[in-house]
Homo-oligomer: A and B are copies of this chain.
Amino acid sequence: MKVLSKPSEYGLRALMFLVTKGEGKGYVNIREMAEELDISFHFLTKILQSLTQAGFLVSSRGPNGGISFARNPQQISLLDVLYVLEGQDFLSKCLLGLPGCGDFAPCPMHNSWAVMRVQLRNLFEHTNLSEVGQSVQLERLRLSP
C-alpha cells in the first residue's frame, strides 16, 4: 500500500527536519538538509520549491540563504502539505480505480471506503508539522545510519 509518493515522503521529512533544526536559526541550508536526510539535493530542491510557491516556506538566496517557515508550523497541517505534493484529489479516489464511482453511482467498496477516507483525512488534518517535528529525533529521519 503506497499511501504517499516519494516527493511527499521526502517533503514531510524535510519539513519535520526544518521544525527542529530551524528553531532560532534564520534560514536552513538546503544542501545540508539534503545530506542529513539522504535525499538528492536537486530532487529535494524541486520539492521545496513547490512548498515555497504554495506559501508554506520562504527562501533566501545567497550566503546564509536557505529556507524557513513562512508561518508557524503549528498552523500547517499534514493535509495542507499533502494537498500540494499529492494533488487535490489526494483522498478522493475510488479504491477500485473506477472512474464513475461516487455517492450516486457507488462501486461495491465506495461506502465503506468513504468511512476510511474520512478517518485518514482527520488524521492528516489534525496533525500539524510542529508536533511531528518536535517529537522526532533527527536521526530517525535519515535513510541510512
Which A residues form the contact surface with B (CB < 8 A)? 1-4, 6, 9, 12-13, 16, 86, 90-91, 93, 95-101, 105-109, 112-113, 115-116, 119-120, 123, 127, 132-133, 135-136, 140-141, 143-145
Report if A98-B4 is in contact (Cβ < 8 Å); known contacts: A108-B132, A119-B116.
no
Does more than half of chain A's interface fall in helix, strand or loop, or is it mixed? loop
* B136 and A91 contact, CB distance less than 8 A: no
* A116 and B112 contact, CB distance less than 8 A: no
Report if A140-B4 is in contact (Cβ < 8 Å); known contacts: A116-B120, A116-B123.
no
Contact partners of A9 in chain B: CB under 8 A: 95-97
Complex partner residue of A93 from B1, B6, B116, B143, CB under 8 angstroms:
B1
